[in-house]
Amino acid sequence: MKNTLFKLGAVAAASFAFATPAFAQEAAADAVGGGTAYILNTLLFLIGGFLVMWMAAGFAMLEAGLVRTKNVSTQCLKNIGLYSIAGLMFWVIGYNIAYPGFAEDSLGLFGMNGTVYSMQGVGDADLDTGYSVASDWFFQMVFCATTASIVSGTLAERIKIVPFFIFVTVLTAVIYPVVVSWEWGGGYLDSVWGFSDFAGSTLVHSTGGWAALVGAIILGPRLGRYAADGRVNVFPGSNIPLATLGTFILWLGWFGFNGASQLAMGTVGDVSDVSKIFVNTNMAACAGVVVAIIATQLRYGKADVTMALNGALAGLVAITAEPLAPTVGQSIVIGGIGGILPVVVVPLLDKLKIDDVVGAIPVHLCAGIFGTLVVAWAGDATFVGQLVGVLLTMVWVSVASGILWFILKATVGLRPSEEVELAGLDLAEIGVEAYPGLANQA
């Protein structure tokens, strides 16, 4: 993702340097000058960045709406806390690992820029970069926070705040940045396998999904979720309208997630591509919702609102690996297949007694894998290269997360006592009582 702008700048510079006057005049109608391009590219990063930042609100609302009332305040604290931790850790070390500047003879598996990352001075601007350094960092940082949000929803209602925040610290400082370096940082997957992940189906969503899956297995299900006779007890969410609003906010933020990953807005072609990305992103989400509604109607004889919400998100995750190259029809197919994944995977997880409170594993992990692999059909990549990217990410994130989860379990502990969990984490963790009349929710 990051190298695109440098290539774009080099091509533009060469074109203007050697063009004939007539060609230069024609090109000038299609592209803006260096200073204007710098402004537009920076603006794209900033607008995309604050849209992705707004997704943090979407995750908070979605999770708060899907957990029980006695855990709502804790879930809100986790979301604002993880976003803040991600910002600090990505500045301290994460960005330098994600974009280390690999040497030509390096395999590109791990590197780190040894310099302290700093923004440009007041009023300074380096037109050669094609964009503001600060805007680039901000745009990259909010992606990092998104990865941590995925873990939060899966492990809701039965993990203590302290171990969760410690995990987020390591995830955003090291685990996620290493995966980013392999592709967007020009590392192993990019240079050796030609792996392609336009906006992060694997780098962001599957990374969060693997960390969440391993955590859910080690942590175990919520008390009373799975009965001894095999029944799965349903724990209704506290506020479905809030969860629905959270989904719409995430949908809105995704236009920044995918659209701004074009990384340039200095030519008419770039602007047209951003527009196409918006359409493909939107249509994939629409297809995901419709397919999820139809699938639940056929399977259960009634539609399910939470499946519809997750259908939208799964469609969005699936199109994220390549939102530009597909036709609208292809985008609808990709989003539709993504939308059916929660309907199929959630019952499978319940059979395995893997408790995923908000459905983040089918949405972010499974749809992320599917969206990455389908680039071989709808984009410019090989199936083998995409598969290698999926598998390498699985191994690194699962092993690193597993080690960290086990260390936390053996030291500070992951779960509260049964008494605390049954009463709700809000009271024990942050001293907030459930709303009157709702304190006895199971």
37: part of which helix (H) or strand (E)?
A: helix 34-66
Residues 6+ apart with CB under 8 A from 33: none
- For residue 1, the model assigns a pLDDT of 59
Question: What's the angle, vertex CA 327, arms to CA 204 and CA 320, rounded to 5?
Answer: 5
In a domain, 388, yes or no: yes
Mean pLDDT for the stretch of residues 361-366: 98
Instruction: Phi first, then psi: give them for residue 227, nearest 5 degrees.
Output: -80, 160
In a domain, 3, yes or no: no
pLDDT tens by residue, 392-416: 999 999 999 999 999 999 999 999 9
CB distance 319 to 371 below 8 Å: yes
Tokens, residue 125? 């601007």
Q: Within 10 Å of residue 274's Cβ, how many Cβ atoms?
A: 21
Tokens, residue 102? 């690999």
Count of structural domains, the chain: 1
Residue 30's closest CA among 274, 306, 373, 270? 270
pLDDT tens by residue, 123-174: 777 787 788 999 999 999 999 999 999 999 999 999 999 999 999 999 999 9
Mean pLDDT for the stretch of residues 100-128: 81
Tokens, residue 412? 């500070």
Q: What CATH number has the domain bearing residue 426?
A: 1.10.3430.10
In a domain, 292, yes or no: yes
pLDDT tens by residue, 53-90: 999 999 999 999 999 999 999 999 999 999 999 999 99
Q: Which domain holds residue 203?
A: 36-99+133-221+241-430
In a domain, 105, yes or no: no
Alpha-carbon distance of 1 to 122, in angstroms, equals: 27
Q: Is the pLDDT of residue 180 over 90?
A: yes
CB distance 321 to 1 below 8 Å: no
Determine the distance from the C-alpha atom of residue 117 to the mean position of all C-alpha atoms in its chain, rounded to a whole number.
23
What does R_g of the chain's alpha carbons equal in angstroms? 22
Total length of the chain: 442
Token look-up 């509604």 returns 293
Dihedral of CA atoms 181, 185, 189, 194 in degrees, nearest 10, equals: 160
In a domain, 6, yes or no: no
- For residue 5, the model assigns a pLDDT of 41
In a domain, 233, yes or no: no
Residue 389's closest CA among 214, 180, 224? 180
Mean pLDDT for the stretch of residues 241-261: 98
Alpha-carbon distance of 315 to 439, in angstroms, equals: 36
Q: Is the pLDDT of residue 14 over 50?
A: no
In a domain, 175, yes or no: yes
CA atoms in the 13 A half-sphere facing the CB of 104? 0
CA atoms in the 13 A half-sphere facing the CB of 136? 26
CB distance 371 to 313 below 8 Å: no
State the pTM of this model.
Answer: 0.90
